[in-house]
Amino acid sequence: MRTIAVNTPSASYSVLIGDGLLATLADRLHKLLGGKLPRLFVVTSPEIWALWSERFLASFARRGAEPIVLFLPSGEAKKRMSSVETLAGQLAAVGADRDSLILAFGGGVVGDLAGFLAAIYMRGIRYVQVPTTFLAQVDSSLGGKTGVNLVHGKNLIGSFHHPLAVYADTAVLQTLPPEQLRAGLQESIKAGVIYDARLFAYMEEHAAAALASDPETLAHIVAASVRVKADVVSKDERESGLRMILNYGHTVGHAIEAATSYKQLLHGEAVAWGMIAALRIARQRNKIQPSQAERIEKLILQYGPLPAINAPATKLAALTAGDKKNRSGVRRFILPVRIGKTEIVTDVSPEELLSAIEQMLQLARRKAAR
């Protein structure tokens, strides 16, 4: 079992990571909540529940507790206000009150939506995250960002609402589709590049085991990645400075996702290409040694195969202007300067960006799998 602390001005909580953690979930909650269990509401998707409900419920049954299960159909398309209203109605119908606790049991979609539901139901109730995708375990379950999408863009409605705790059982990753695992691992490569050279080296050494879902290897990578995010978020909860480094690869990554209507690449796959584009900008500026840049690019491709990008460079460049991370129209880029360290720059010229995107597309044409 690994425990990592998140300490922000508005909340302090633990992220627990372990193989088989679900078996003791109710006991841990019981202790966390001072020796009693409130009314419990699980938000999950039917697919996840079909796979894992027995393991999930076992520890509650031993304590005589019966959580009420609310379903959110899976898929990004369901991360909408209408789903929040439906679930809030279901909570109200069964009399959920201010003392009730929501358990978000699923990937980032379930976690973001259930967290937002908890943030606004009766002006805010408590919740815990029980993430089931690699991405959710290393990224979306901690940090307090919750929300839903609008047709105009992703995550445009939301709130900061931290969970009481995060329980990441790496055993549930065994049923994750392989491309979901690989896409999530790209966020761990990101964590290594921006903050943790040891994590990066570990992922180099243990690539085969990680890609084969070896439990101990995954637990190590999840814990190290969570440590990076927990550390960064603890130092800068509201993204006024340091937290921006978590967006390495995301400016071009988001542009790729938008240009392909969020249908051709998983988020982590788009971020992987985005990390390569930002790396090319850093190379053009001689901000990073070629040998370091090559190691980064090699590792990203090794955790592939990555899908092709069906979008022209000009469109991708134009779409980076609409990135939510921009402030007052300034385009920010997180550039790696060596493995474990980045620099935030605001003066990337349109020509520089276009050239980096073209290099990325060229590489994608040579290396892409599908």
Determine whether 250 is an active site residue: yes
Helix/strand/coil for 236? coil
User: CA angle, 166 as apex, 161 and 170 as ends, to 5°?
Assistant: 145
Cα 82 off chain centre by:
23
Q: Which residues pair with 348 in a beta bridge?
A: none
- Per-residue x/- track, 59-78, ligand NAD (CB under 6 A): ---------------x-x--
Q: Which is nearer to ligand NAD, 136 or 339 (CB)?
A: 136
**Residues of the chain by 3-state class (helix, strand, coil), percent to 5:** 55, 20, 30
Active-site residue 239, yes or no?
Answer: yes
Residue 206 bears catalytic tag: no
Which amino acid is located at 140 in the chain?
A: S
Question: Per CB under 6 A, does 143 bind ligand NAD?
Answer: yes
Minimum CB distance to ligand NAD smaller for 71 or for 332 = 71
Which residue's CB is nearer to ligand NAD, number 217 or number 247?
247
Work out how close the CB of 73 gets to ligand NAD at its nearest, in angstroms, rounded to a whole number: 9
Interatomic CA distance for residues 128 and 125, integer angstroms: 10
* 336 is an interface residue for ligand NAD by CB under 6 A: no
Strands (E), 217-323: none
Q: Is 152 a catalytic residue?
A: no
- Is 83 one of the binding residues for ligand NAD (CB under 6 A)? no
Q: Does 48 bind ligand NAD (CB under 6 A)?
A: yes
Long-range contacts of 250-253 (CB under 8 A, 24+ apart): 250/274, 250/323, 250/325, 251/278, 251/320, 251/323, 251/325, 251/331, 251/332, 251/333, 251/334, 252/277, 252/278, 252/316, 252/320, 252/356, 252/357, 252/360
Binders of ligand NAD: how many residues, by CB under 6 A?
28
326: nearest Cα among 303, 346, 356, 304: 346
| Choice from 133, 217, 251, 320 touching ligand NAD (CB under 6 A) | 133
Q: How many CB atoms lie within 10 A of CB 110?
A: 29
Contact residue for ligand NAD among 4, 14, 25, 79 (CB under 6 A): 79
Instruction: Determine if 19 is a binding residue for ligand NAD (CB under 6 A).
Output: no
Q: Edge to edge, what strands does the sheet with 2-7 contain?
A: 2-7, 12-18, 165-169, 126-131, 101-106, 40-44, 68-71
326 tagged catalytic: no
Q: Which of 154, 162, 267, 331 is catalytic?
A: 267
When asked if residue 107 is in the footprint of ligand NAD (CB under 6 A), the reply is yes
Q: Which of 15, 57, 135, 306 binds ligand NAD (CB under 6 A)?
A: 135
Among 53, 86, 159, 180, contact with ligand NAD (rule: CB under 6 A) = 180
Name the site residues for ligand NAD (rule: CB under 6 A). Answer: 45, 47-48, 51, 74, 76, 79, 106-110, 112, 132-133, 135-136, 139-140, 143, 145, 154-155, 172, 175-176, 180, 267
Which residues are known to be catalytic?
Answer: 123, 145, 187, 229, 239, 243, 247, 250, 254, 267
